[in-house]
């Protein structure tokens, strides 16, 4: 297999130069099966370019015929080169399993060794070497054990097959059309899907759902007569260890099967799903499973039949179980026809109200897919209490890589710092598990033995992330982790047929970081970014020692804090929304204030914010375990950044920061815009440096113009809105229109 | 020709019963040509149903062979029956011309006589008899002279040939698809177009533009290779005296002709338009002309070439002049990318700023088409000062029959009272011409001689409108009217392929009233409505003597004041907008407040409104002649209903009504909703009465439910918005959310 790069498409974090170090070595690959073949092909391609060589066969008997610089070996075969055999012996002496997707790295006697139990581990090991570059072939490396913290590391594509009249080819897509679908059909040329699979494997993703969770008429048929399209995509993803999943229409027995009901307890319905699922596995034996948005924003679901979400999910789970498939059942269920006059209903409560009572009722292969916050992917939300509320349920956490509410890939907004906060958040306090540990479930638990090894092996040059797959919290999980069935991490993809994959070239970093955080949730977002910079811009000098004007430092200065910059110039203090209805881009402070969507800020001439306390509000704070239940309830203890999410306060309320709410609004909005101005100047300084390709530089420069325009619009609208309401002038006398 | 009613389509104001009186008579029709043929066919069809007879031929020699109940005669032929000849002699003795579309009505010696110079007058006379019903055949009728006040009485269809992805088949259409176009092509079955033409002729309309002023790619080609489609429509309209017009793309020489420029002073461009126009007239000899939206909301225009609107319009006028065609050049030109922060730019000023300096520069067959208000068809605007600013230009006034901003044909909103106010408004004070007189121009002037005759003939039974074609102001126009070239009245059509033509069955009354007001601008809106009720609901008892619960009275109670009801529950005191951006339905107080569209209310915690004074505001009041320039400038003299259009005032400002602005807002919004509640109850009382068809009753009942829901939404959002801002409680303690 040769990876054919689609013409004109940016190579993201896998430019040929990324393979320079491994491509210059003499390599031996031992292992069977397609994934080992992929590793061999990748190495062969790199070696053809950079002068190395790869011993193609699995001929273990002659494997010791060196010399080699690099050995990658999968499986239990004993005929390893001596240096590799020694590494394996050491691993065994530690009593650790390498695990299905894990690998061991070591370097001794001038040979770099990667060992895996399964070929998938070998593939991840290969891309680990790509990240390390020359560092993988320099000093001795003591045994490092790498394995993913989360077993399921998945991207959901909200791609439509037919162009939707309102939502387009990709719902909430900001990077052009779908890479899978075009105008109602599978694309003829799937080379780009293969290239995508390669990028995903290189950051650790192992599952992709290929169609929108809002399953429209044409898309529903992917399950049946258009299954061949899905199989074709699966064929492109498979060589990179990625399983395909499908969003399905809960009403499919009616809409596709001609039945009169989709009642999950109806025998004919169950039979229809069983038979349909069997046909899916006949066609795609490694099919991953179904994704379901049911009884949500108008989609069909079990409520129509008086059944519970557990009834609905379990029916599908039963159909999938014989084949090892899973159901991702989304918890995004709320009343989207709420009356804004009704101050007692609270959309933030909805998922917990619906699902917490069902804990323990879901089948083993049901994964409840929960958005990270209680509302909908705002730049700042508290962590959803549902994640901690269902110890007997496998929970997946859903993040939005596509920047629906975070600048729509026209704004620089590096999201890993937000995700990192979410993944590290401990809903039950310091002694409880982190969000990542809950989503990691058994995987995190099993990984404990490996923790020592990973932690013992330190940082890598180029500022690469801490190698570990295992978060520091794992040890604490002992005894409790078993109660959490892991559901993994799911991201809504930000990719389209745009030449740069993601519209904004710098938004590639979000996709990369998503995968890396799904593998290692405790990795430092700045380190991940540095890793991405090193791969994506191979012409950059390799470190930041040259000072703040070095390209690498410039990119960090633009991106590291860009999420907080975005937060500063948009909706303040966690109150959320204030976006233009429908497309959700740009400001409209009252845009959702009198709508049925349940997203309000209740600003009047005296104050702003939503009272979600038990004492006087909607009682949402009561959905949290201690200590957060008390912290959020208290207007004094509540963190500033989510104050208006939990409390309605006067404009003169003094924050922990010492500022009043109204002055905070003014200050952050002026500051946010200034930060964009600085980013623009920094980026301009990279022009003509030879290290950023001109087309990429121009694209980002154009988008920074738009970001600045839009940030000013946010600043001025928000400041004017609150000045008109409050009458309080800016303490610093700046211009408020 | 037999009029074939399209199956399932409501017959609006021409049900068979409307022809009962004339269909039971013995009629003679004298005159040549297609329109006389239409009159004969109409009579023959009516007689076949109701037992009368019609002498078909133009055999004047034998015309006196009576007996006849009814004679309709067009042309100068002398061989009239004696009674008709006597009427003609009397008309001649009065020294009056009947005029091209006019007719004379009289009844003597048991014979009803309609005389016309041209067959078109005969057609309008026929439909006048339909309106009169039995009253046309009872007592003696002294000579009445009827002629239209406005020569051009036109409907613009904003219909697209291709379904536009956002705007649909009909832009701002609320009655289904287009009656002309469907999915990219002319409809196969044009019977409905014929039926439409008949309805239009019956209310006096004589011109129709068949495509959207926003001319997209496919629609542009109607001018060239798809001209056959236009010809086919013209063929359906022609028998009812209606000429077809076409909206054209100013850039057509480029987009269709392949030229490199559309510069109106370029010789090749002028040649292209001349040749193209000649081909149009080869195909459609009675083609009416072009409608152009140029340099407006992104449409191409002469500005791109550094040319003026006069240059652009005159070029097209020159191409049309040899064939008698006209250009309707829209004055709807403004900056739709305005910065909301910029308080000096004022969209209200734009049309006057652009066009007033061009007065005198337009060709004789250019008609400047001016929206009635300075902004965009709001429920309440002051009259556009442009209408009075261009005495050397033919001005047409554009009204919006389709209810974009007035309830979108889901709300009952009878618009004739608003139009009547506009048409009767005298921009230069009591001594100046009315808007209708300016738009009527020479027609109104020429009509002066007939005025005495029309005024001498009084009201008709069934509450029909005063017969006159001529407004009372005409005499005052003597000496000034000549300076106004009349452009006529243009309405944006509210018709679609809905079974009731207009979505809301009661919205038919707006279409009917538009035509009637174009013919007779000083007609009483309530009388027009009564006329419409009588025709549309033939089962209703013929008068209101039965008391307020008689169906006719009930409809008046629901409809007469429905525009003011709508105004009460929507944006207050002339400030406008406050609608949901994009679709413009339902409330969103701040929806346009921070947008580039130039439509703001500037509400803050202290007050609301737009300062358009010369003293402290945008200076817009200076565009009006005296006395309005002074009246609008003065916060004391400015009429309440447009106060916030001209002034920013504190919430405590006391209106002429004695109420404060804030209390006025609360009071009108509560009152408006109560009026809808009453309308709903009144309509419910018409159920099962046998006088309203059940399907029509059900449709209106459903729509009243929606109207009430939406009116409550307006009430609550507007009241809550202003309560949150002002902090002033309702004086009557009613619920504000």
Which residues of B participate in catalysis according to the annotation?
A: 297, 376, 404
A605 and B717 in contact by Cβ < 8 A?
no
B717 and A594 in contact by Cβ < 8 A?
yes
Distance in Å, alpha carbon of B349 to nearest chain A alpha carbon:
22
Q: What is the number of structural domains in chain A?
A: 3
Same domain, B120 and B161: no
Residue B443 has pLDDT above 80, yes or no: no
Distance in Å, alpha carbon of B324 to nearest chain A alpha carbon:
43
Q: Which residues of A touch B587 (CB under 8 A)?
A: 594
The SS3 of residue A403 is coil
B341 and A587 in contact by Cβ < 8 A?
no
Q: In what order do the strands lie in the sheet with A53-55?
A: A53-55, A26-30, A70-74, A111-116, A103-108, A141-146
For the segment B199-212, the average pLDDT, to the nearest whole number, is: 98
Same domain, A201 and A270: yes
Q: Which band of pLDDT confidence, cut at 50, 70 and 90, is reported for residue B78?
A: low
Q: Which residue has the higher pLDDT, A676 or A479?
A: A676
Do the domain assignments include residue B627? Answer: no
Same domain, B381 and B366: yes
Alpha carbon distances (Å) from B258 to A68, B31, B251, B253: 67, 48, 10, 6
**pTM of the complete model:** 0.89
Q: Which residues of A touch B341 (CB under 8 A)?
A: 716, 737
| Strand segments (E) across B75-187 | 103-108, 111-116, 141-146, 153-156, 159-164, 168-170, 181-182, 185-186
Q: How large is the greatest C-alpha to C-alpha distance in chain B, in angstroms?
A: 84
> Among residues B536, B553, B588, which one ends one of the domains?
B536
* Least confident range of A315-329, A689-703, B299-313, B665-679: A689-703
Candidates A168, A169, A590, A594, partner chain B, best to mutate (most B CBs within 10 A): A594
Q: Which residues of A touch B590 (CB under 8 A)?
A: 588-591, 721
Residue A541 confidence (pLDDT): 77
A588 and B590 in contact by Cβ < 8 A?
yes
Residue A125 has pLDDT above 50, yes or no: yes
Residue A459 has pLDDT above 60, yes or no: no
**Which of A138-147 are b and which e, b meaning 16 or more Cβ less than 10 Å from the residue's Cβ?**
eeebebbbbb
Residue B541 confidence (pLDDT): 76
Nearest to A717 among B165, B589, B594 (CB): B594
Alpha carbon distances (Å) from A476 to A300, A473, B100, B122, B199: 41, 5, 97, 97, 82
Interface contact A712, partner B, CB < 8 A: no
* Least confident range of A332-336, A526-530, A589-593, B244-248: A332-336
Q: In terms of Cα–Cα distance, which of A255, A339, A351 is closest to A296?
A: A351
Residue B482 confidence (pLDDT): 35
pLDDT digits (tens, 9 = 90+) for A704-714: 999 999 999 99
B727 and A341 in contact by Cβ < 8 A?
no
Interface contact A735, partner B, CB < 8 A: no
Q: Which residue has the higher pLDDT, A445 or A349?
A: A349
What is the C-alpha to C-alpha distance for residues A684 and A672, in angstroms, rounded to an integer?
19
Interface contact B587, partner A, CB < 8 A: yes
For the segment A691-696, the average pLDDT, to the nearest whole number, is: 92
Same domain, B328 and B422: yes
Same domain, B582 and B720: yes
A724 and B603 in contact by Cβ < 8 A?
yes
B607: closest chain A residue by CA: A724
What is the C-alpha to C-alpha distance for residues A576 and A641, in angstroms, rounded to an integer?
11
Do the domain assignments include residue B591? Answer: yes
Q: What is the ipTM of this complex?
A: 0.86
Q: Which residues of B touch A720 (CB under 8 A)?
A: 594
Distance in Å, alpha carbon of B408 to nearest chain A alpha carbon:
19
> Among residues B486, B516, B536, which one ends one of the domains?
B536
Q: Which band of pLDDT confidence, cut at 50, 70 and 90, is reported for residue B464?
A: very low
Report the CATH number at residue A112. Answer: 3.30.379.10
What count of CB pairs under 8 Å joins A to B? 63
Structural domain harbouring B338 = 153-536
B590 and A589 in contact by Cβ < 8 A?
yes
B720 and A582 in contact by Cβ < 8 A?
no
Residue B97 confidence (pLDDT): 82
Do the domain assignments include residue A624? Answer: no
CA atoms within 13 A on the CB side of A35: 27
Residue A176 confidence (pLDDT): 97
pLDDT digits (tens, 9 = 90+) for A261-300: 999 999 999 999 999 999 999 999 999 999 999 999 999 9
Q: Specify which residues B650 forms β-bridges with.
A: B607
Same domain, B431 and B311: yes
Same domain, A245 and A343: yes
B737 and A587 in contact by Cβ < 8 A?
no
Interface contact B727, partner A, CB < 8 A: yes
B164: closest chain A residue by CA: A165
pLDDT digits (tens, 9 = 90+) for B354-385: 999 999 999 999 999 999 999 999 999 999 99
Block residue for tokens 């292969």: A365
Q: In terms of Cα–Cα distance, which of B29, B241, B30, B16 is closest to B133?
A: B16
Residue A625 DSSP symbol: P
Do the domain assignments include residue A52? Answer: yes
Same domain, A447 and A579: no
Residue B96 confidence (pLDDT): 76
A341: closest chain B residue by CA: B737
Residue B727 has pLDDT above 90, yes or no: yes
Q: Phi first, then psi: give them for residue A211, nearest 5 degrees.
A: -145, 160
Concatenating the DSSP letter of every residue in A527-563 gives HHHHHHHHHH-TTS-SSSTT-TTSHHHHHHHHHTTHH
| CB under 8 A, 24+ apart: contacts of A294-300 | A294/A250, A294/A329, A294/A330, A294/A333, A295/A333, A296/A330, A296/A332, A296/A333, A296/A334, A297/A214, A297/A332, A297/A336, A298/A336, A299/A213, A299/A214, A299/A215, A299/A249, A299/A250, A300/A249, A300/A250, A300/A251, A300/A262
Q: In terms of Cα–Cα distance, which of A676, A677, A594, A609 is closest to A646?
A: A609
For the segment A87-109, the average pLDDT, to the nearest whole number, is: 91
What is the C-alpha to C-alpha distance for residues B284 and B287, in angstroms, rounded to an integer?
5
pLDDT digits (tens, 9 = 90+) for B467-503: 333 333 332 333 333 334 689 999 999 999 999 999 9
Q: In terms of Cα–Cα distance, which of A378, A385, A381, A397 is closest to A444?
A: A397
Residue B55 confidence (pLDDT): 82
Same domain, B350 and B492: yes
Residue B726 confidence (pLDDT): 98
Residue A66 confidence (pLDDT): 66
For the segment A644-652, the average pLDDT, to the nearest whole number, is: 98
What is the C-alpha to C-alpha distance for residues A200 and A488, in angstroms, rounded to an integer?
16
Interface contact A590, partner B, CB < 8 A: yes
Same domain, B125 and B252: no
What is the C-alpha to C-alpha distance for residues A375 and B260, in angstroms, rounded to an integer?
53
Distance in Å, alpha carbon of B183 to nearest chain A alpha carbon:
15
pLDDT digits (tens, 9 = 90+) for B394-442: 999 999 999 999 999 999 999 999 999 999 999 999 999 999 999 998 4
For the segment B111-126, the average pLDDT, to the nearest whole number, is: 96
Distance in Å, alpha carbon of B637 to nearest chain A alpha carbon:
28
Q: Which residues of A touch B581 (CB under 8 A)?
A: 580-581
Residue A99 confidence (pLDDT): 84
Do the domain assignments include residue B639? Answer: no
Helix axes A525-536, A508-519, angle to 10 degrees: 130
What is the C-alpha to C-alpha distance for residues A263 and A711, in angstroms, rounded to an integer?
48
Do the domain assignments include residue B245? Answer: yes
A341 and B588 in contact by Cβ < 8 A?
no
Do the domain assignments include residue B207? Answer: yes
A725: closest chain B residue by CA: B605
165-194 of A, contacting B, C-beta below 8 A: 165
A722: closest chain B residue by CA: B604
pLDDT digits (tens, 9 = 90+) for A422-448: 999 999 999 999 999 999 984 333 333
B604 and A725 in contact by Cβ < 8 A?
yes
Residue B99 confidence (pLDDT): 84
Interface contact B337, partner A, CB < 8 A: no
Same domain, B172 and B81: no
Nearest to B604 among A341, A580, A724 (CB): A724
Same domain, B133 and B170: no
Interface contact B431, partner A, CB < 8 A: no
Do the domain assignments include residue A227? Answer: yes
A605 and B726 in contact by Cβ < 8 A?
yes
Nearest to A165 among B165, B341, B721 (CB): B165
Mean pLDDT of chain A: 91
B588 and A594 in contact by Cβ < 8 A?
yes
Interface contact B594, partner A, CB < 8 A: yes
> Among residues B536, B554, B575, which one ends one of the domains?
B536
Residue B724 confidence (pLDDT): 98
H/E run at residue B205: none
Q: Which residues of A touch B340 (CB under 8 A)?
A: 737
Catalytic residue among A117, A295, A404, A530: A404
Q: How far is CA B378 from the centre of its chain?
A: 15
Catalytic residue among A275, A297, A364, A626: A297
Report the CATH number at residue A601. Answer: 3.90.1330.10
Q: Which tokens hold the place of A446?
A: 């099993």
Interface contact A545, partner B, CB < 8 A: no
A727 and B606 in contact by Cβ < 8 A?
yes
Nearest to A727 among B580, B605, B720 (CB): B605
């Amino acid at each position: 297999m040769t990876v054919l790069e689609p013409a004109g498409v940016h190579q993201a974090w896998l430019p040929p130069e990324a393979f320079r170090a491994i491509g210059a070595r003499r390599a031996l690959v031992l292992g069977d099966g397609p994934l080992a073949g992929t590793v061999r092909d990748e190495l062969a391609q790199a070696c053809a370019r950079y002068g190395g060589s790869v011993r193609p066969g699995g001929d273990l008997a002659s494997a010791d015929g060196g010399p080699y610089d690099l050995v990658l070996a999968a499986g239990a075969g004993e005929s390893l080169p001596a240096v590799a055999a020694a590494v394996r012996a050491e691993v065994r002496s530690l009593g650790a399993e390498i695990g299905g997707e894990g690998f061991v790295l070591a370097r001794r006697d001038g040979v770099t060794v990667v060992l895996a139990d399964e070929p998938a581990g070998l593939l991840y090991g290969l891309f680990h070497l790509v990240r390390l570059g020359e560092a993988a072939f320099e000093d001795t490396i003591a045994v490092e054990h790498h394995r993913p913290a989360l077993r399921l590391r998945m991207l959901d594509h909200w791609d439509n097959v037919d162009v939707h009249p309102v939502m387009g080819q990709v719902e909430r897509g900001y990077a052009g059309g779908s890479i899978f679908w075009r105008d109602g059909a599978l694309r003829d040329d799937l080379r780009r899907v293969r290239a995508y699979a390669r990028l995903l494997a290189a950051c650790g993703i192992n599952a992709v759902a290929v169609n929108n969770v809002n399953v429209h008429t044409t898309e529903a048929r992917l399950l049946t007569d258009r299954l061949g399209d899905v199989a074709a995509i699966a064929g492109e993803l498979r060589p990179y260890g990625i399983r395909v999943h499908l969003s399905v229409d809960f009403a499919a027995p009616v809409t596709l099967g001609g039945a009169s009901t989709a009642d999950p307890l109806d025998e004919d319905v169950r039979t229809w799903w069983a038979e349909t699922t069997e046909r899916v596995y006949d066609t795609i034996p490694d099919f991953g499973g179904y994704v379901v948005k049911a009884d949500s924003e108008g989609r069909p679901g079990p409520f129509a039949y008086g059944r519970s979400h557990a009834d609905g999910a379990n029916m599908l789970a039963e159909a999938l179980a014989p084949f090892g498939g899973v159901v991702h059942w989304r918890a995004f269920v709320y009343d989207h026809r709420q009356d804004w006059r009704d101050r007692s209903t609270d959309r933030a409560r909805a998922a917990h109200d619906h699902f917490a009572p069902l804990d323990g009722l879901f089948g083993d292969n049901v994964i409840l897919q929960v958005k990270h916050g209680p509302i909908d992917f705002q730049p700042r939300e508290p962590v959803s209490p549902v994640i901690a509320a269902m110890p007997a349920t496998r929970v997946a956490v859903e993040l939005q890589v596509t920047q629906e509410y975070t600048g729509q890939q026209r704004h620089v907004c590096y999201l890993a710092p937000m995700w990192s906060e979410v993944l590290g958040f401990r809903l039950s306090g310091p002694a409880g598990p982190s969000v990542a540990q809950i989503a990691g479930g058994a995987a995190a638990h099993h990984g404990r033995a490996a923790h020592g090894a990973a932690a013992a092996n330190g940082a890598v040059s180029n500022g690469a992330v801490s190698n570990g797959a295992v978060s520091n919290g794992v040890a604490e999980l002992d005894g409790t982790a078993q109660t959490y069935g892991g559901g993994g991490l799911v991201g809504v993809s930000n990719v389209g047929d745009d030449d740069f994959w993601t519209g904004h070239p710098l938004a590639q970093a979000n996709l990369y970081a998503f995968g890396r955080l799904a593998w290692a949730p405790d990795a430092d977002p700045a380190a991940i970014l540095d890793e991405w910079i090193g791969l994506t811009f191979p012409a950059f000098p390799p470190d930041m020692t040259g000072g703040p004007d070095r390209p690498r430092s410039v990119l960090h200065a633009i991106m590291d804090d860009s999420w907080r910059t975005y937060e500063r110039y948009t909706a303040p203090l966690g109150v959320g929304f204030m976006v233009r209805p429908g497309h959700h881009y740009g400001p409209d402070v009252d845009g959702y204030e009198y709508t049925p969507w349940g997203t309000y800020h209740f600003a009047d001439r005296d104050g702003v914010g939503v009272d979600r306390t038990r004492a006087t509000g909607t009682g949402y704070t009561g959905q949290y375990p201690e200590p957060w239940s008390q912290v959020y309830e208290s207007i004094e203890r509540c963190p500033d950044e989510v104050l208006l999410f939990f409390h309605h306060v006067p404009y003169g309320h003094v924050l922990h920061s010492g500022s009043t709410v109204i002055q905070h609004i003014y200050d952050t909005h002026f500051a946010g815009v200034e930060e964009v101005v600085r980013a623009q100047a920094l980026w301009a300084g990279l022009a003509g440096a030879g290290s950023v390709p001109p087309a990429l530089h121009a694209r980002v420069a154009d988008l920074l113009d738009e970001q600045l325009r839009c940030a000013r619009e946010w600043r001025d609208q928000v400041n004017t809105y609150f000045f008109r309401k409050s009458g309080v002038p800016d303490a610093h006398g700046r211009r408020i229109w």
